[in-house]
Copies of this chain bind each other. A is one copy, B any other.
Amino acid sequence: MSKVFVSAQEVAERAGVSRSAVSRTFTQGASVSAETRRKVLEAAESLGYHVNHLARGLMRNESGIVCLIVSEIGTPYRSALIRAITQQLQLSGKIAMLINTDRSDGSVDLALRQAIRYRADASIILSGLPDKRIAQLCLKSGQRLVLINRDDDQEGPLRINLDDAEAARRVLTAFVRAGCRNLAFANSEAGTPSLMARESGFIAAAMEMQLEVTVARYGHTGYEAGRVLAQRLLTLPHRPDAVFCATDLIACGFMDAARQQFSISIPDQLCVAGFDDIEQASWASYDLTTFAQPVDEIARTAVMWLSQGQDLNERVKLHAELVWRSSIRGG
């Protein structure tokens, strides 16, 4: 109950200096004599002193806190991105607050309010989309905003996206080269911009080659959806010989169902591609050809933008590299 952290005052007394000397010792680029510094550090060490970042944040008007707003934290792609971002943040001396949201946009607004309460320097949104009013409040308060893979049109936040359409075009080419003509796209019903961009990009690319695409959408973006989508697409009169899955999780579910329930051999009878390059995509059971989310680059870009001035382009499009494995013939 009784929280008794040691304060700069106590350190000052012990070291026989003023409390500002203590403060200066722990402030970057402040001028303290070597002797004073030594005395202070010694006293601090022996007392177990640590600068109170709550108070420092109050004074400096800069908390060092960055809010990560995420739903479905347990998912492979999300957690990989969280890992990369927290790492980058720590490298640049910041610290991450993690807020778990559910799928509703209202919970993103709630999360942003928390970010404001803790005077976070910035918020990084991986899921959902904030209400414009609350987003504006953040911006107006001087909090920076980063939106990852959520194609919002409002000005102010840094928006990081991938070249989903370009990726879709590449996978189409690969399918065609493998001799596939009966194309399908397996999507969830989430309808997020990146998912939809992959879908429409794939359809557009197919159109250019006079090919049609059967699109199916089901449920939440995950393994289970992949299984159901396989049931639907693989029982069609014209059974697809190639399917582009909106995410790797969907692809894994799809492949499992295709093999176990339809005894389909991959890639001989069916070519499959995914998106994200989660760890499981490289597992021998799947060995899935997919596009790698450049998580480290995303993290670096976001964190760098936070540290720098806002001169950086506020809309960044990153490249998703094709990772070629054995779920598509040829290669």
A285 sits at the interface (CB 8 A): yes
Stoichiometry, copies per complex: 2
Please judge, given known A-B contacts A50-B117, A62-B3, A116-B50, whether A68 and B98 are in contact too, CB under 8 Å. yes
Find A284's partner among B72, B119, B257, B284 (CB 8 Å cutoff).
Answer: B257
- Name the residue on B nearest A81 (C-beta): B74
A114 and B97 form a contact (CB under 8 A):
no
Please judge, given known A-B contacts A119-B54, A256-B284, whether A74 and B68 are in contact too, CB under 8 Å. no
Shortest beta-carbon distance from A92 to chain B in Å:
13
Please judge, given known A-B contacts A5-B119, A5-B142, A118-B95, whether A113 and B223 are in contact too, CB under 8 Å. no
A30 sits at the interface (CB 8 A): no
**For the complex, what is the distance from the CA of A3 to the CA of B75, rounded to whole Å?**
34
- Number of residues of chain A lying within 8 A (CB) of chain B: 64
**For the complex, what is the distance from the CA of A96 to the CA of B68, rounded to whole Å?**
10
Please judge, given known A-B contacts A86-B73, A252-B283, A260-B284, whether A97 and B99 are in contact too, CB under 8 Å. no
B95 and A96 form a contact (CB under 8 A):
no
A55 sits at the interface (CB 8 A): yes
Shortest beta-carbon distance from A58 to chain B in Å:
5
* CB within 8 Å of B: which A141-155 residues: 141-143
B74 and A79 form a contact (CB under 8 A):
yes
B5 and A48 form a contact (CB under 8 A):
no
**Contact mask A71-114 → B, CB, 8 Å, 1/0?**
01111101110110011001000011111100000000000011
- Name the residue on B nearest A78 (C-beta): B79
Find A54's partner among B3, B58, B283 (CB 8 Å cutoff).
Answer: B58
Which residues of the partner chain B approach A113 to less than 8 Å between Cβ atoms?
50
Which residues of the partner chain B approach A252 to less than 8 Å between Cβ atoms?
283, 285
B256 and A52 form a contact (CB under 8 A):
no
Which residues of the partner chain B approach A5 to less than 8 Å between Cβ atoms?
116, 119, 141-142
Please judge, given known A-B contacts A95-B114, A98-B98, whether A74 and B80 are in contact too, CB under 8 Å. yes
A100 and B116 form a contact (CB under 8 A):
no
A82 and B73 form a contact (CB under 8 A):
yes
**For the complex, what is the distance from the CA of A82 to the CA of B90, rounded to whole Å?**
18
* CB within 8 Å of B: which A57-76 residues: 57-58, 61-63, 65, 68, 72-76
A97 and B96 form a contact (CB under 8 A):
yes
Find A79's partner among B79, B140, B223 (CB 8 Å cutoff).
Answer: B79
Please judge, given known A-B contacts A117-B53, A252-B283, whether A83 and B100 are in contact too, CB under 8 Å. yes
A51 sits at the interface (CB 8 A): yes
**For the complex, what is the distance from the CA of A1 to the CA of B306, rounded to whole Å?**
11
Shortest beta-carbon distance from A88 to chain B in Å:
10
Find A98's partner among B52, B97, B140 (CB 8 Å cutoff).
Answer: B97
28 contacts between A and B (CB under 8 A): A1-B309, A4-B141, A48-B141, A50-B113, A53-B118, A65-B97, A65-B118, A73-B86, A74-B76, A74-B82, A74-B83, A75-B79, A76-B76, A79-B79, A79-B82, A82-B98, A83-B100, A86-B98, A86-B100, A90-B99, A96-B97, A96-B99, A252-B283, A253-B283, A256-B283, A256-B285, A257-B284, A285-B285
